Amino acid sequence: MIEKIGIENLLILSALMFFIGVYGFLVRKNLITMLMSVELILNAVNINFVAFNRYFYPEKLQGHFFALFVIAVAATEVAVAIAIIISLYRKIRTIDVEKASEMKY
């Protein structure tokens, strides 16, 4: 069944997701939205992992494992990032990324 769907489709999907993520990361000023953009990037990568694994090395499982691994890392990352954002908010009463420039130089 899955053979009917070419890998190109999956790759196009993941590329779109990836660049949407990058765009969001670069353009949105809200830290939470930026975090969500990062999640998009990670998931785009996950799709690629799984797709390549399934199409080229169906007898192996490394790609799946790696996707799971990334999900786990992403989850922890979110936890840490949210913690940083909350404490940042407590300090400067905003989560606008451009305002958080105290540590420059």
Partner 1 sequence: MINDTYSFTVAIPLIVFFSFLIIGLGFGRLKPMVSGIFGTMALLAVTALSYFTAYRYFFVDGMMNGSFQKFIAYDALWMSFTDSLQVRMGVLLDPISVMMLVVISTVSLMVHIYSLEYMKHEEGFSRYYSFLSLFTFSMMGLVLSSNIFQIYIFWELVGLSSYLLIGHYYERPSAVAASKKAFIVTRFADFGFLIGILMLSGITGTFDFLKITDPGGSALTQGSAVGFMGLSVMTWSLLLVFAGAAGKSAMFPLHIWLPDAMEGPTPVSALIHAATMVVAGVYLVARLFTVYVLAAPDALITIGYIGTFTSLFAAVIACTQFDIKRVLAFSTISQIGLMMGGLGVSGYTGQEGLGYTASMFHLFTHAMFKALLFLCAGAVIHAVHTNEMTGMGGLRKYMPVTNFAFLIGCLAIAGVPPLSGFFSKDEILTAALEKDKLLFAVQYAVAGLTAFYMFRLYYSIFWNSDRQYHSKPHESPFAMLFALIFLSAASIVSGFIPFSRLVTPDLKPFDSHIHWAVAIPAIAIAAAGILIATLMYRKESGLPAKTAAAFGGLYRAAYRKFYIDEIYIFITKNVIFRYISAPLAWFDRNVVDNAMNSIAALTNLTSSRIKGLQSGQLQQYAYVMVTGVIIVVLAALYFMNA
> For residue 55, how many other CB atoms are within 10 A of its CB?
16
Nearest residue to 15 via CA among 52, 32, 36, 40: 40
What is the closest distance, in whole angstroms, from the C-beta atom of residue 45 to partner 1 in the complex?
A: 14
- Using CB under 8 A, which of 1, 26, 76, 93 touches partner 1? 26
How far is the C-alpha of 21 from the C-alpha of 41, rounded, in Å?
Answer: 5
Q: Which is nearer to partner 1, 10 or 85 (CB)?
A: 85
What number of other Cβ atoms are within 10 A of residue 14's Cβ? Answer: 20
Can residue 80 be called a binding residue for partner 1 (CB under 8 A)? no
Amino acid at 97: V
Q: CB of 96: closest distance to partner 1 in angstroms? A: 11
What distance in Å separates the CA atoms of residue 62 and residue 4, rounded to the nearest whole number?
Answer: 23
Of 93 and 105, nearer to partner 1 (C-beta) is 105
Which parts of 29-68 interact with partner 1 (CB under 8 A)?
A: 29, 34
Site residues, partner 1 (CB under 8 A): 22, 25-27, 29, 34, 97-98, 100-105
